Every structure is written in C-alpha cells, then in structure tokens.
Amino acid sequence: MKMKWVGRGFLIVLAILVFVTLGGQVVLHLWNWLLPGLFGFRMITFWQALGILALCRILFGGFGCHHRGSNFRRRMAERWEHMTPEEREKFRQGMGGRCGFGGSVGESRS
C-alpha cells in the first residue's frame, strides 16, 4: 500500500516538472519569436520565461481558487432575486456610472 502512494507521489512530481518545463519553453519561444521583432524587446532566457510564467499565474490565474468566481456569481444572483425592480434599476445605474458606461438618469450623452 505504501509503495502505491510513493509511486503516485513520484508521478505527481514528474508531471509538475514536465508542466513547468513545457510551460517555460512555450513562453520562451513565443517571447523570443514575437516580441523582439514586433516591439524591439530583448530575447529572454529559460529562467526569465519561468519568471514571466509565474508572474502571469499570480496576476491572472490566481492560486488555484477557481471556485471563487462561481461562488460570487451565485451570491449575486441570490441578491438580485431579492431586489425590488427599483433597487435593481438603482444598482444598474450605480454600476454603469462606476464602470464608465451609462450614467445617471439626468445626464445626457454626447
């Protein structure tokens, strides 16, 4: 039984190493193929590509908490269902003003 878990652990570590290596190589080759020619950036090394991959994961991918968005949507849907039509309209106007589209009822668009 213990050997089964050791084997699984080895396969998991191997899969992570393969994923990191392939991801780094993809970022390296795409960067060095596109960005120096398009924007005049310098070419990068494999370790810099891994750093860019990690930075993108942190900024855009989160840390594996993908369920947060669906949880947020579910809670907002529940709140929306309990709002009156007047509260919904007020919410729409407020969000429209914050997000740069729409505005208050009295404003005219030009």
Q: Provide the whole-model pTM.
A: 0.52
pLDDT digits (tens, 9 = 90+) for 33-84: 999 999 999 999 999 999 999 999 888 876 555 555 578 888 888 999 999 9
pLDDT digits (tens, 9 = 90+) for 3-30: 788 889 999 999 999 999 999 999 999 9
Specify whether the CB–CB gap between 74 and 45 falls below 8 A. no
Q: How far apart are CA 103 and CA 65, in angstroms?
A: 34
Domain boundaries, the chain: 24-54
Q: Between 71 and 101, where is the model more confident?
A: 71
Identify the CA nearest to 28 among candidates 16, 41, 10: 41
